[in-house]
Amino acid sequence: MKKLRVIAFTVLCGLAFVSCKKENAADKINTENVAVAAERDANSNKFPVMTFDKTEHDFGNLKQGDVAETIFSFKNTGEKPLVIVGIKGSCGCTVPNDWPREAIAPGASGKFSVKFNSRGKKNITTQTITVTANTEKGKEIVKIKAMVEVPVGAVTAKTRAIKQPAVISTKQL
């Protein structure tokens, strides 16, 4: 019985080796496809590039509660059209507006505004604005900063908590 199994296994292995017709893999490649793939790969590194006139804006000194606005201008210095998907501030105090909703051709320029509300802020404040676009990185970052001065005697959330007297209920005594 063992001999029969060994013989059957040997015959199957022999048939498997004989039935496999080896083909050269290079013969299966279509030269047209190679040319198309090479062109695609050469163009894959061409992205739109957002080149900003400034990547950070300093509002200087602001009084707490002031609203300030600046404009960020940019140029598409890449080789493909630039599409801005969205722009978002790092918190609700920083609101971007008026960015181009249509594609920006290579060599063309665009701009967007950013409003900063200093209410509730104090000292040096830095906020980031994230531009989501079809650039190579996918996200471009610009920043704003300001020195927010709190007027003397102003009531902030922290001072309000400190100045309020503790309430003691007579039920607790």
Identify whether 164 is part of a domain: no
Number of domains in the chain: 1
For residue 142, give every residue at least 6 positions away whose Cβ sits within 8 Å of its Cβ, in sequence order, or none: 52, 54, 55, 56, 57, 72, 114, 128, 129, 131
Dihedral over alpha carbons 23, 32, 136, 87 (to 10 degrees): -120
Q: Per residue in 16-66, pLDDT tens?
A: 666 666 666 666 677 776 676 666 666 666 899 999 999 999 999 999 999
pLDDT of residue 84: 95
Token output for 158: 């922290």
pLDDT of residue 4: 76
Domain span including residue 76: 50-150
Identify whether 93 is part of a domain: yes
Nearest of 73, 71, 70 to residue 52 by alpha carbon: 73
Kindly indicate the confidence band of residue 132, based on its pLDDT and cuts at 50, 70 and 90.
very high
Identify whether 21 is part of a domain: no
Identify whether 155 is part of a domain: no
pTM value is 0.65
Identify whether 95 is part of a domain: yes
Helix H, strand E, coil C: the string for the chain is CHHHHHHHHHHHHHHHHHHCCCCCHHHHCCHHHHHHHHHHHHHCCCCCCEEECCCEEEEEEEECCCEEEEEEEEEECCCCCECEEEEEECCCCEEEECCCCCCECCCCEEEEEEEEECCCCCEEEEEEEEEEECCCCCEEEEEEEEEEECCCCCCCHHHHHHHCCCCCCHHHC
User: Which residue shows structure tokens 């650039």?
Assistant: 135
Identify whether 94 is part of a domain: yes
Identify whether 16 is part of a domain: no
Read off the CATH number of the domain in which 122 is found. Answer: 2.60.40.10
Neighbours of 96 (CB within 10 A): 18
pLDDT of residue 2: 76
Q: Per residue in 79-124, pLDDT tens?
A: 999 999 999 999 999 999 999 999 999 999 999 999 999 999 999 9
Identify whether 108 is part of a domain: yes
